[in-house]
Amino acid sequence: MKITFFLLPKDKVIYLRSDSTLRQAMEKMKYHRYTAVPLINKKGKYAGTLTEGDILWTLTDKKISIEDKDLEHINLKTIHKHIKNKAVHIDAEIEDLIGLTMNQNFVPVVDDRNIFIGIIRRREIISYFARKYYSHKQPSAFATG
């Protein structure tokens, strides 16, 4: 099965430009209550994922408090990303996502030019396989109502 069925398109995804500041990232992540967000460069290409951990490590390594004005001068491009979330091509199959979703809350999806087009969330993958599993075992066990 192709992954397009599960795609949350870019216009519905919260993401950050890779040239945003640390303060902008912290504010957006706090507002949306996200632990990780995709980063997109000026050309619209997927440029990695920023996590809460990346922010925490940056604050502690640079000995910066969250009230510090320096947050406005730290560019996300300069922050070390401790986790390298891998993107998949839009033509990938659902089975290609299993390994990725074990370590990623979402999987970024790109087109032929590596342009970010959206994400697939872990919960959709788990839900798909749970429905598949329970449809063979106990159809009523996964029913929602």
Average pLDDT estimate for 53-76: 83
Map out the domains of the chain as residue ranges.
3-142
Predicted TM-score (pTM) above 0.85: no
Q: Give the percent of the chain with pLDDT over 70.
A: 92
Residue 144 pLDDT = 56
Residue 8 pLDDT = 95
State which fold the 3-142 domain adopts.
CBS-domain (3.10.580)
Cα 12 to Cα 6: distance, rounded to the nearest angstrom: 13
